[in-house]
Amino acid sequence: MQPAKPEDLIQGGLLDGMCIVCTGLIRLCSNLNFFSGDFEIRRLLIDRLHCIADDHDHAKAMIDRWLETSPAAPKVFDFMYMAQVTRKREALGSGCDVCHGEPWVLGPNDIVRCGCTYGQALAELDRDRLGRRREGAPLPLVN
């Protein structure tokens, strides 16, 4: 097969009724563990990715993130989660001159979240996660 031309990628042509851009993105996952060789399953993945993502930049961010974090191939269920996570990250902004959008900066003793809006938004997410993990645990007597 010919590689997709750049203009095809921008406009998002169709290949066998499937989006070329999303087909290419799903193909990037094909060397992960448990990737299904079944054509119908792959078609479903491509179709779902195309529908769930806000646009192709978002679809790419979702797949990039997946490839960075998971050794196993994504399932349709995972796209919902990835869509949320990548949207949240975009909403956080891109950091300041100190952190340059990196999740951690060097503190006096350890790595810490940055003091800017971005770092503090991440800190907020940390507290969220911790809070959920502690749910159901007895409250400490002293703080």
Q: How far is 3 from 120, CA to CA, in rounded Å? A: 43
With binding defined as CB under 5 A, does residue 121 bind Zn ion?
no
With binding defined as CB under 5 A, does residue 116 bind Zn ion?
yes
Per DSSP, which regions of 16-113 are E strands? 18-19, 105-106, 111-112
Closest distance of CB 19 from Zn ion, Å: 3
Site for Zn ion in 32-61 (CB under 5 A): 50
Q: How far is 115 from 58, CA to CA, in rounded Å? A: 27
Sketch the per residue contact string, 66 through 105, with Zn ion: x for CB under 5 A, - otherwise.
Answer: -----------------------------xx-xx------
With binding defined as CB under 5 A, does residue 114 bind Zn ion?
yes
Q: What is the dihedral of CA 115, 117, 120, 125, to 10 degrees?
A: -160
- Residues found near Zn ion in the complex (CB under 5 A): 19, 21-22, 50, 95-96, 98-99, 114, 116, 119
